[in-house]
């Protein structure tokens, strides 16, 4: 048997991944995650829930996912909310076990998708005090890491920005992956024992799956840090090469996010 035939047979033994599904908070319909984003924008029951809001703001629609398991949250976040608010939400709903440290990092921004733009050299690790708007105005994909020992990481994708919106709460959950149990990528790690009581009382309980990590995202994050520290006196050709590689990585990551299946 040739190596090609052997590899082909091994691949055939692997279980086929199925399209991941999520549940709409408004109407409780379950559908493919590739469709849920469009659905929540037109769901009449979500619109009814949000019609009672009176506080004006700019809304950032974010999609929080893992790459190797079908966890997903679609949320609307006020632009004037601090990053610490998003950190607390992710801790409550998915992460918190022993009060570990956590961090955000932007791993793809608008400039990465514009061949004519100059890649900014600013800090790509926003502090918890910064507002959502100041980060996701340009950040397209961020990584959130909880616990730097037994790390659990998720990606945060900016889906859309809505000016002149209304929302009385800092974060409003629109959809969540289906399943049962703890419904957390943190399950099985450290001392995790499920979401906080606050989340259980205020959010629908939709799903679960085994723990997942994002080692490839952490590696990209570290590479961008190294590139940001490069001496400014390096020749333009070097910076052009780094920008091209960073742009290619960002495009590839966004493509992966758009085509997740299990």
Tens digit of each residue's pLDDT (9 = 90 or more) over 160-177: 999 999 998 889 999 998
Tens digit of each residue's pLDDT (9 = 90 or more) over 128-142: 889 999 999 888 888
* Selection from 50, 64, 60, 128 nearest residue 93 by Cα: 64
Q: How confident is residue 78, by pLDDT bands cut at 50, 70 and 90?
A: very high
Specify if 179 maps to a domain.
yes
Which CA distances in Å does 136 have to 61, 132, 225? 10, 6, 18
Specify if 7 maps to a domain.
no
Specify if 10 maps to a domain.
no
> Which residues, 6+ apart, have CB-to-CB distance to 117 below 8 Å?
110, 111
Tens digit of each residue's pLDDT (9 = 90 or more) over 20-42: 789 999 999 999 988 998 999 99
Average pLDDT over residues 54-72: 88
Specify if 213 maps to a domain.
yes
Residue 247: what pLDDT?
62
Tens digit of each residue's pLDDT (9 = 90 or more) over 39-57: 999 999 999 999 999 999 9
Mean pLDDT for the chain? Answer: 75
Residue 237: what pLDDT?
67
Residue 188: what pLDDT?
83
Q: How confident is residue 69, by pLDDT bands cut at 50, 70 and 90?
A: confident
CA distance 140 to 133: 12
Specify if 212 maps to a domain.
yes
> Which residues, 6+ apart, have CB-to-CB distance to 166 below 8 Å?
50, 53, 54, 55, 56, 57
Specify if 138 maps to a domain.
yes
**pTM listed for this prediction:** 0.74
Specify if 23 maps to a domain.
yes
The first and second tokens of residue 200, run together, are 């259980």
DSSP single-letter state for residue 118: P
Residue 189: what pLDDT?
86
Residue 195: what pLDDT?
81
Identify the domain containing residue 243 by its residue range: 16-258
Residue 258: what pLDDT?
63
Tens digit of each residue's pLDDT (9 = 90 or more) over 218-262: 444 444 444 444 445 566 666 566 666 666 666 666 666 665 544
Does residue 63 carry a pLDDT above 90?
A: yes
Q: What is the CA radius of gyration of the chain?
A: 20
Please count the structural domains in the chain: 1
Specify if 45 maps to a domain.
yes
Give the range among 103-112, 113-122, 203-212, 229-238 with minimum mean pLDDT.
203-212
Q: How confident is residue 113, by pLDDT bands cut at 50, 70 and 90?
A: low
Tens digit of each residue's pLDDT (9 = 90 or more) over 184-225: 888 888 888 888 766 655 554 433 322 223 334 444 444 444
């Amino acid at each position: 048997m040739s190596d090609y035939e052997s590899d082909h047979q091994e691949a055939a033994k692997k279980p086929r991944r199925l399209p991941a599904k999520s549940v709409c908070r408004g109407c409780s319909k379950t559908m493919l995650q590739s469709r849920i984003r469009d659905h929540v924008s037109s769901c009449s029951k979500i619109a009814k829930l949000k019609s009672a809001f009176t506080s004006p703001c700019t809304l950032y629609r974010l999609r929080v996912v893992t790459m190797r398991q079908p966890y997903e949250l679609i949320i609307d976040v006020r632009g004037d909310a601090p990053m610490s608010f998003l950190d607390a939400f992710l801790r409550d709903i998915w992460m918190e076990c022993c009060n570990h440290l956590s961090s955000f990092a932007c791993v793809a921004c608008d400039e990465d998708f514009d061949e004519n733009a100059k890649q900014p050299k600013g800090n790509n690790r926003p502090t918890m005090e910064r507002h959502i708007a100041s980060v996701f105005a340009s950040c397209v994909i961020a990584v959130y890491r909880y616990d730097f020992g037994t790390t659990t990481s998720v990606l945060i994708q900016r889906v859309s920005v809505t000016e002149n919106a209304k929302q009385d709460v800092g974060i409003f959950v629109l959809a969540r992956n289906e399943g049962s149990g703890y419904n957390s990528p943190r399950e099985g790690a450290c001392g995790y024992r499920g979401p906080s009581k606050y989340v259980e009382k205020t959010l629908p309980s939709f799903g679960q799956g085994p723990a997942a990590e994002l080692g490839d995202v952490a590696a990209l994050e570290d590479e961008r840090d190294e590139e940001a520290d490069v001496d400014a006196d390096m020749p333009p050709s070097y910076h052009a090469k780094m920008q091209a590689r960073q742009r290619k990585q960002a495009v590839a990551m966004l493509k992966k996010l758009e085509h997740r299946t299990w």
